Structure 1
């Protein structure tokens, strides 16, 4: 017994010491928000004041010192995020996560992003301020790598830290540009619909070029497999970094506001993850000031404001990717046909390192259009070589200069000059200033082909007739400067016509745009609080119209009492997606069943991919308004031909039966918050034991697809809606009170789990609240801690 007690005591002491040791070790991993540190390559002291939500306010005597400090503080909060995002375009995720990410690495490494980065870097002006400040920023990151604590994620996956270079910055730009694009998700599918089902099927869901009515006005029978689109969807699910999706922004001119000064609003929609996408910082030097939101590894903010102007962005959604079917030489598969005869493919040798496995070596064939996708996607069974032409890798890359000039503009003209240099990704760049200017620029390299084409299908690469023949001058791009209607806005919707036509793109439905315009047109005395409330608005302007179009086709005489009650709830719904609302629950299940009844018999395995694209959102609105369509017939019933009424009635009845089984017989219990939730996922959270440590949530919330407070989820058979994307930040800048501007992130400023700012904004974000974006120096000094960087001897 004595021996047993002695053993137990030893075990107890060991456990206590182990816990104490782990606690002491964890203390070394905390970010340092106060005290003194020495920093190389700064000429004078740099003061960094951290406010209540962990935003660093950097005060320096020159920009070189400020950006060195920015790199250090950005890295200590977000080094793990930086590490992951720089690996995507380079095809290096398998080194961290193993063979599950191999196909993703093969795909991204073959897009030409790294090759484009190398070419761009060779041609950079190393004497430019943009380059010099970028190198200062990278120097700060690398000093943290050398001297700061290693984030816990590196220990968990057994990864060594590496120095960062400017190539990593351009790899981030490349990933950002590709994640904005939509052609690779839609074009192959539409091509197969046309080739396997026929032109009628394509036309019935495409309709006219402009099927939405809210425009951004300028002033100035076979199964469809779509291997490329569906496999890309699977790869995006595996990515540990968020893709870019949509966004809202509007800028109110002085005549539209109560205090007679410009009010700016922006909320870019990006895939949710932990940490949050944007990192906030405030830099102040004698010759410069900017409160900005930076992506990982980007030195200059893509969203920002100061006392003089504010800017932000939404996705343009223009078409900047074309796919081409190439024709191989029948006598030599290493050559392809062109209008000038056969040419040799360029051959690129690639190697990918895989954790706990042998390296993979492969080759990519590149035509004059771009990489042959058959080499990059294992699941493509198309025998014809399919090449991807992407504007990003075709034109001189000036993204570093664009970001620098947008964040360092001294006038609207300067700002426009920076916006004009953007080639890809296409962005709606929004602007407002203290001098009462407002502007919107649809920026990106726009082009036209030699003949009229449906660029949403795969083009002919051999004939030479489908090539780009010219690029637009920037003055021809959609844009508005100080328009007579006194506001500019973007919700990723179709811009008004240019050059006597509408530019092709993958524009989102008019839902959010329609709601924004309704609210903006309703009054001329907006306050900052009004605009903040708009960003949290969850009423759909278009869904009631869609419901009305479908409800008319339902056979009311065949409905049960529960079905009739459910239909009445839908019929009188105003489109509000509140937590306790019943209609959103009924509507989204009805929509899913309607899509199944309409499209699944023809699309087969590609159905799930199709219904979660912006194209579906527009197609279903178009079909709902029609009485006849080739899609209504269920091709699996050989001896009957269904009509709209039969498809719609059956879909509604199946929806109600499903909800009764899922949520119970009492319709009053079918509240929206029972089926929708949001969780911000960290890559380490995929391990069950670590989920509660690294992930933030889950939370109940309000909102839905295509409302201003856009809570994006996929429709599927489950009847449960897990939000995957939404506003990555919300900002309101009122130039009548610019020092009290408002902002919020979905979770928090830091990606370090030991930081108090890992998730301290989460509840406020869910409730539509904001935190101040401080500019007043006295308030900054009084509000938080001081980290002092001293020049290292």
Structure 2
């Protein structure tokens, strides 16, 4: 479950206690609640999602409320493509009116004003906000709300914007300034841009902001009289700042930063430090500022009252802990600590009904380039750097050219319809916008190759 999902649904279930076990009334009958214990609390789950009503002090006596999410539909992708070629705000409004799916917010602007359009299906008028799962997707005519906002420049469909206006900030989860910096770094290489240059930028895995970190890290490594510190400096010295799966430097850098954040905040914020490490890109610019200034009280360990720790002492511990993790998980040789060894994912294939196919096409880990802040993005959802979300399709278009590229990393299982070894991840092919509802980004690759 992810709070960053396309949209959320609140589902209300009636409950019954049977032999001191709580059951909820699912669409297929009463089922026992699932439980998951973490270091902080016990979370209860339904088939729809976690029980959000447990978070409130005053709970329902004979019912629970679960929160579910709905992933983006192809209708939203189609509407975004159409809006990109709209000639006026009126055209955008008409496109938004045709959209059928979970409620979405479109932010657009013309020469004078910025607009926000809320479009999508709604619940029937006689339904409450808390609906049963079998009625949650019921829709009627798609309404839309058309509201004028202040006259600021707005960009839709992006998580990184330079100086976003309040109208855009309202619909942004956060502003990924690191990824914006990576994009500017790539754009600065070109005085004039061709289509091939756009393709290179879309698959760029360069992380230029590491330069500022490396100045600090290398200075601190110079103070450590151990061989592994000198070896780390060698890898950083040869690094071209790309987050490629075949390189060791990205692994060392990511592990050092994660361990440094862990050591810095673990004593002050013990219950939140795991989430801070997982989502550090949200406050990454502020953390870099703290490292540069070296004046923050966060660097002091509040559990050791007899002495005051500094940034340098925290770094020493973080570096050793980072090495220890990979020493146990990969092995003692740093040459083997390639980014793809930890930044990977095992993707389940769709043909899981056949035991023979499962055995013959057993899933294996797929290594990914990039990171959270590169233009070609791959996100890790855990503290062990395993990929949680990855870019599997890139496309660009203008009035005459419409091209898309599908990654081969959908699955490594040859028994799956979503397996292909013939399309390179940066191989762009023409797409037919008149058949945008059949875009091969939502089709099995084998079917796409036949077209």
TM-score band, normalised by shorter chain:
0.5 to 0.7
Report the 3-state secondary structure (helix = DSSP H, G, I; strand = E; otherwise coil) of the residue aligned with 1:602: coil
Distance 1:441 1:475, change over 3 A: closer
For these two proteins, the number of residue pairs brought into alignment is 373
1:612 matched to 2:278? The reply is: yes
Distance 1:711 1:504, change over 3 A: closer
* Backbone CA RMSD of aligned residues: 5.0
Q: How far apart are the structure 2 equivalents of 1:683 and 1:95? A: 25
On the 8 A contact 1:685/1:695 being kept in 2, the answer is no
Deviations 1:368-390 (A, max 9, x none): xxxxxxxxxxxxxxxxxxxxxxx
Among 536, 556, 563, the residue aligned to 2:229: 563
Distance 1:242 1:723, change over 3 A: farther
Q: How far apart are the structure 2 equivalents of 1:602 and 1:418? A: 52
TM-superposed deviation, 1:692: 6.7
Distance 1:760 1:670, change over 3 A: closer
1:595 matched to 2:251? The reply is: no
Q: Which has the larger radius of gyration?
A: 1
Q: Match of 2:397?
A: 733
Q: Match of 2:406?
A: 744
Q: Match of 1:413?
A: 89
On the 8 A contact 1:91/1:104 being kept in 2, the answer is no
Report the 3-state secondary structure (helix = DSSP H, G, I; strand = E; otherwise coil) of the residue aligned with 2:81: strand
Higher RCO (CA < 8 A, seq sep 6+): 1
Q: Match of 2:126?
A: none
On the 8 A contact 1:478/1:495 being kept in 2, the answer is no
Q: How far apart are the structure 2 equivalents of 1:588 and 1:747? A: 22
Deviations 1:539-582 (A, max 9, x none): 11212222323443x26233312211203423553320112211
Q: How far apart are the structure 2 equivalents of 1:709 and 1:499? A: 27
> 5 Å matches for 1:645-656?
645-656=312-323
> 5 Å matches for 1:142-541?
293-294=74-75, 301-305=78-82, 310=84, 411-417=87-93, 426=105, 443=116, 474-476=148-150, 478-479=152-153, 491-496=158-163, 498=165, 506-541=173-208
On the 8 A contact 1:442/1:478 being kept in 2, the answer is no
Q: Match of 2:301?
A: 634
Distance 1:692 1:514, change over 3 A: farther
Q: Match of 2:40?
A: none
TM-superposed deviation, 1:677: 1.3
Q: How far apart are the structure 2 equivalents of 1:691 and 1:440? A: 55
Among 572, 580, 585, the residue aligned to 2:251: 585
Q: How far apart are the structure 1 equivalents of 2:7 and 2:174? A: 28
Distance 1:763 1:498, change over 3 A: same
Deviations 1:232-272 (A, max 9, x none): xxxxxx999776xxxxxxxxxxxxxxxxxxxxxxxxxxxxx
Report the 3-state secondary structure (helix = DSSP H, G, I; strand = E; otherwise coil) of the residue aligned with 1:724: strand
Deviations 1:81-127 (A, max 9, x none): xxxx999654689547963386457878979xxxxxxxxxxxxxxxx
On the 8 A contact 1:713/1:723 being kept in 2, the answer is yes
Q: Match of 2:417?
A: 758
Q: How far apart are the structure 2 equivalents of 1:572 and 1:665? A: 21
Q: How far apart are the structure 2 equivalents of 1:440 and 1:518? A: 30
Where in structure 2 are there 5+ consecutive unaligned residues?
1-5, 14-24, 36-43, 57-65, 119-144, 440-447
On the 8 A contact 2:344/2:387 being kept in 1, the answer is yes
Distance 1:784 1:713, change over 3 A: closer
Deviations 1:307-364 (A, max 9, x none): xx746xxxxxxxxxxxxxxxxxxxxxxxxxxxxxxxxxxxxxxxxxxxxxxxxxxxxx
Deviations 1:405-458 (A, max 9, x none): xxxx5x33324446899997555569xxxxxx999978468xxxxxxxxxxxxx
TM-superposed deviation, 1:679: 2.6
Q: Match of 2:368?
A: 701
> 5 Å matches for 1:657-672?
657-672=324-339
Where in structure 1 are there 5+ consecutive unaligned residues?
1-84, 112-226, 229-237, 244-276, 279-292, 312-408, 431-436, 446-470, 481-487, 787-793
Among 69, 92, 100, the residue aligned to 2:34: 100
Report the 3-state secondary structure (helix = DSSP H, G, I; strand = E; otherwise coil) of the residue aligned with 2:278: coil
Distance 1:544 1:240, change over 3 A: farther
Q: How far apart are the structure 2 equivalents of 1:670 and 1:439? A: 53
Deviations 1:623-680 (A, max 9, x none): 2222111211112222111111111122123323433444334322222122221233
Q: How far apart are the structure 2 equivalents of 1:572 and 1:595? A: 25
On the 8 A contact 1:536/1:708 being kept in 2, the answer is yes
Provide the TM-score with structure 2 as the length reference: 0.65
Provide the TM-score with structure 1 as the length reference: 0.39
